[in-house]
Structure 1
Amino acid sequence: MRNAWAGGVRGRLAAGIGAAVLGGALTACSGSDGPETAAPPNAAAPGGGADRPSAPATHPFTGGRAGVNNPVLAVKIENTQMALPQTGVGSADIVYVEQVEGGETRLMAVYSSKLPARVGPVRSARISDLHLLPQFGRPAFAFSGVQSKMKKYIKQAPVYDISQDNGGRAYFRYGPKPIPYNLYANPRTLLKQAPKAEGPRDIGFRFGPAPEGGKPTATFTARWPSTRMSFTWSAKQKRWLSAHNGRTNTAAEGGVLGGRTVVVQYAETTRSQFHDFLGNYTPLIKTTGTGRAVVLRDGKAYDTTWSRPSEDKGTTFTTAGGEPMTFAPGQVWMVLVNNGSPRIP
């Protein structure tokens, strides 16, 4: 599978998405149409079956020991006020926060070590997802749909498309929220639609004791044009508790959403060739190359540098002293913001 990806799908993705999106989309105007160790973990080999090499000692997404053989599932989840409280986010290994149209945000929750009973509200995919997902090999990708102009890019991407169109009874309407904020999915049923979804691999994260330095930090706020998310350190829970526009981000299952590690990654964010039905442009987040990031762990903020050489590779984080930035074992939030945002105050 990996050789086929390297020689085939990756080439088509680079030619199709790379040229058409990172080339044309970066210059598109608003008039366009469209819608537990610091040492590297052993990377899990792609795919499943008897010929798969032994699993890594710890999960490369969490630094824990659970679910090291489990397939990878990525799910798009609404992140506006109408969607709250969300379901199943607390079970994710990684939670990406991405800017979408109108300066709002949407989540992409990545599951492998464990699965919740239900996840949602499930919403549509965006072009930036297809630039993030190749690092996971060929995962299962769940979403409610995409605009017609983007369908060819979904077909070219190295993912198993288990959208609402393909997921069958895995999707269902639930609860009092109006459409489109009441679409949920059963992750186990979703994965039955993608039996060959690949297992976890090294995506650049390193877990272990906190490095030297760091600035004691009680709260850090990430901002987008129309919304903000804050992360406040809880010494009692040993994790960062999130708030959405000043309101505690409570999970539908109870408790407050948040991670052991929060990475605020500053990345170039510009207009893609896509728009929503209101004419708002779809942001394109460039997650390859290098840039700066603030890593929050253990009540401290660390200024770091991120690096991702290509879309089929993961992202590494380096301290100001040139050492690998280690994460606290557990859930990681990857918060993607425009690189024009200020440094640690």
Structure 2
Amino acid sequence: MTGERAARRPGRVLTALLCAVTAAGLYGCSDSGPPEPAPTPTPAPATPTPATTTPAPATTAPAPSGLSPFTGLPARSGPVLAVKIDNVVAARPHTGLGAADLVYVEQVEGGATRLLAVYSSRLPELVGPVRSARESDIELLGAFGRPVLAYSGAQSALNPLLSAAPLHPVTETTGPGAFRRSPDRAAPHNLYLRPERAVAAVREPENARDIGFRFGPAPKGGTPVASETVRYPAARYAFTWSASDRTWRVAMDGRAARATDTGALAPSTVVVQRVAVRSSAFHDVTGAVSPYTETVGSGTALVLRDGRAFEARWSRTSATSGTTFTTPGGERLAFAPGQVWVVLAPRN
């Protein structure tokens, strides 16, 4: 059955986002000049599935040494790289998204969405298309310590905040060798990141650390669910349970979502985290106010794992702390080991 628990809110028609960062303060990404030939991405190794791994039991403690705190699977303790990814129709299919440990969905101007993909366990050859950062990215990423953040640019008034934040910003200006333009896509949807070069451009990047997730057996109860739909003013996500590989197949705006290098997007756990989305002090070139997604505080969530939906509570006390997910009875709610998607959905 299909549940539609995400908030619906009137929104403006999605306007075209411009790509140049100018003195007038527009969002976008700067052009690095003529595109270079597009190499064929090397497929990332397939994500292990829960059926072939032995996760640690769910506890109140962080993941044991040797397991990723983002997926609960065996992984190196590598540097954390976050990449802001375009998500309009012209930007799809994405590249490198299947290799992410963790994917956040955030609302932007006009009710559209962008993705913030977090990498640590492995780095694909390419990720993209890459787009611009927003103010709420600073708060969201505070739980990761001082991660590398790769993005195309930002409004000029936002740049001082990004520079002062506990981040290692990597853009075409600060790390030009980490990016390339694809001749197969039209601007602004043609900027791609080379993750290895992005991490190498940063001195002493911080390794993965506990952000509040716990992994292990599913809690008791839950409701059998075949699919779940989350709606934004100008975007729609559907997550359909695939029993054969125990993942949730992602669809965006009615079409199955895939990555050019790894195929169908299929997280093991999907968290629909209901949050406050308010206006920020920034706006785009058309005058549309940029939303600010509040990820500090508390609220309700829906956790999808193992073909079931579990009602949950989330809590985050500060911008430097992780997010705790609990059952209605107050026990820590464990995720299924594997890739996690956190859909930051506006509250009713």
Provide the aligned C-alpha RMSD in A: 1.3
Contact 1:34 1:149 in 2 (8 A): no
**Aligned residue type for 1:318:** T
Matched residues in 1 for 2:171 and 2:220: separation?
Answer: 44
Q: Does 1:218 align with 2:226?
A: yes
Post-superposition shift, 1:39? Answer: 1.8
Post-superposition shift, 1:210? Answer: 0.5
**Aligned residue type for 2:127:** V
Match of 1:336 in 2: 344
**Aligned residue type for 1:178:** A
Q: Does 1:194 align with 2:214?
A: no
Q: Does 1:73 align with 2:81?
A: yes
**Aligned residue type for 1:80:** V
Q: Percent of pairs identical after alignment? A: 50
Matched residues in 1 for 2:26 and 2:319: separation?
Answer: 24
Contact 1:42 1:57 in 2 (8 A): no
Alignment of 1:51-62 (within 5 A): 56-62=65-71
Post-superposition shift, 1:285? Answer: 0.7
Alignment partner of 2:162: what SS? helix
Alignment partner of 2:65: what SS? coil
Matched residues in 1 for 2:127 and 2:175: separation?
Answer: 14
Contact 2:26 2:154 in 1 (8 A): no
Alignment partner of 2:310: what SS? strand
Post-superposition shift, 1:231? Answer: 0.4
- Per-residue CA shift, 1:175-233, capped at 9, x if unaligned? 42100100001100110111311011110000001110111001101110011110000
Match of 1:320 in 2: 328
Q: Does 1:100 align with 2:108?
A: yes
Contact 1:267 1:338 in 2 (8 A): yes
Match of 1:39 in 2: 59
* Structure with the bigger percentage of helix: 1
Alignment of 1:273-288 (within 5 A): 273-288=281-296
Q: What is the number of equivalent residue pairs in this alignment?
A: 296
**Aligned residue type for 1:106:** R
Contact 1:41 1:58 in 2 (8 A): no
Match of 2:130 in 1: 122
Matched residues in 2 for 1:232 and 1:271: separation?
Answer: 32
- Per-residue CA shift, 1:34-67, capped at 9, x if unaligned? 7533124547xxxxxxxxxxx8231111101112
Matched residues in 1 for 2:68 and 2:271: separation?
Answer: 18
Matched residues in 2 for 1:262 and 1:175: separation?
Answer: 34
> Which runs of 5 or more residues in structure 1 are unaligned?
1-32, 44-54, 341-345
Matched residues in 1 for 2:176 and 2:94: separation?
Answer: 22
Matched residues in 1 for 2:281 and 2:266: separation?
Answer: 33
Alignment partner of 1:87: what SS? coil
> Which runs of 5 or more residues in structure 2 are unaligned?
1-24, 28-54
Contact 1:229 1:246 in 2 (8 A): yes
Match of 1:47 in 2: none
Matched residues in 1 for 2:260 and 2:219: separation?
Answer: 34
Post-superposition shift, 1:254? Answer: 4.5
Contact 2:66 2:75 in 1 (8 A): no
Contact 2:315 2:324 in 1 (8 A): yes
Contact 2:98 2:262 in 1 (8 A): no
Alignment partner of 1:128: what SS? helix
Matched residues in 2 for 1:218 and 1:241: separation?
Answer: 11
Q: Does 1:158 align with 2:166?
A: yes
Matched residues in 1 for 2:113 and 2:245: separation?
Answer: 26
- Per-residue CA shift, 1:67-96, capped at 9, x if unaligned? 2x2000000000110100000000000000
**Aligned residue type for 2:84:** K
For residues 169 and 34 of structure 1, do their structure 2 counterparts lie closer, same or farther at Cα, with a shift above 3 Å needed? closer
Matched residues in 1 for 2:283 and 2:171: separation?
Answer: 20
Q: 1:142 aligns with which of 132, 146, 150?
A: 150
For residues 309 and 321 of structure 1, do their structure 2 counterparts lie closer, same or farther at Cα, with a shift above 3 Å needed? same
**Aligned residue type for 1:145:** G
Match of 2:316 in 1: 308
Matched residues in 1 for 2:292 and 2:302: separation?
Answer: 21
Alignment partner of 1:152: what SS? helix
Q: Does 1:63 align with 2:72?
A: yes
Match of 2:141 in 1: 133
Match of 1:232 in 2: 240
TM-score by length of 1: 0.84
